[in-house]
Amino acid sequence: MSRQAASKVREDFSEVIDEVRHHGERVILHRRGKDVAAIVPLEDLALIEAIEDKMDVEEAMRRLNDPKDESMPYDEIRKKLGLG
């Protein structure tokens, strides 16, 4: 994994993308010494999303099976989320 200044990556973007795509390199971008983002291979992103999906399902199942967890009517949820 490499760590590069965002401004430097901007100059060499094609080369950085090639490293990520062809070699599985992960690149952390920083500005003024602070890490701000990362460029990762699509396989890594797919794995992250699969993990998040699994965590969401586990949390939903936990809440559905928890008798102390208060349910909320669908219309109330929509209103709370500003969906009308």
Confidence of residue 63 (pLDDT cuts 50, 70, 90): confident
For residue 28, the Cα-to-chain-centroid distance in whole angstroms is 14
User: How does pLDDT run across 28-44, given as a tens digit for each residue?
Assistant: 999 999 999 999 999 99
> Which is more confidently placed, 60 or 42?
42
pTM to 2 decimal places? 0.68
Q: Which residues lie below 8 Å from residue 16, measured CB to CB, with a gap of 6+?
A: 4, 9, 27, 39
Instruction: Tokens for 3, please give them.
Output: 């760590």
**C-alpha to C-alpha distance for 12 and 7, rounded to whole angstroms:** 9
**pLDDT, mean of residues 66-79:** 82
CATH superfamily of 2-40: YefM-like domain (3.40.1620.10)
> Which is more confidently placed, 69 or 24?
24
